[in-house]
Amino acid sequence: MKYLLLVLVIIPLAHGGIIKEGIFSGRISKNNPDAKLIRVFVEFDNLKYLNRKNKIEFWKSDAPSTKCRGYILGKSTQYLLVKIPKYDICSRKVALGRGHYLKFYSPDLVKNIKTGRELVKILLKKRLGIKGQLEKAEKNLKGHVEKLEGVNRRYDILRQKLEQEWSNQLTYLEEDKTNTLRYFKDLEVRLDEVDHKLEIYRIADENLKLDRWSLDPKFYFKK
For residue range 189-221, list pLDDT tens digits in order. 998 888 888 888 888 777 766 555 555 556 555
Does position 68 have pLDDT exceeding 60, yes or no?
yes
Q: How confident is the model at residue 147 (pLDDT cuts 50, 70, 90)?
A: confident
Separation between Cα atoms, residue 88 and residue 208, nearest integer Å: 162
88 with 19, same domain: the answer is: yes
Give the CA angle between residues 207, 213, 215 to the nearest 5°.
115
132 with 155, same domain: the answer is: yes
85 with 141, same domain: the answer is: no
pLDDT tens for each residue of 159-182: 999 999 999 999 999 999 999 999
> Residue 34 is part of a domain; what is its CATH number?
2.40.30.20
- Of 155 and 210, more confident: 155
156 with 86, same domain: the answer is: no
CB atoms within 10 A of CB 46: 13
Whole domain around residue 135: which residue ranges?
110-202
Q: What percent of the chain has pLDDT over 70?
A: 84
Mean pLDDT of 129-137: 94
Average pLDDT for the chain: 85
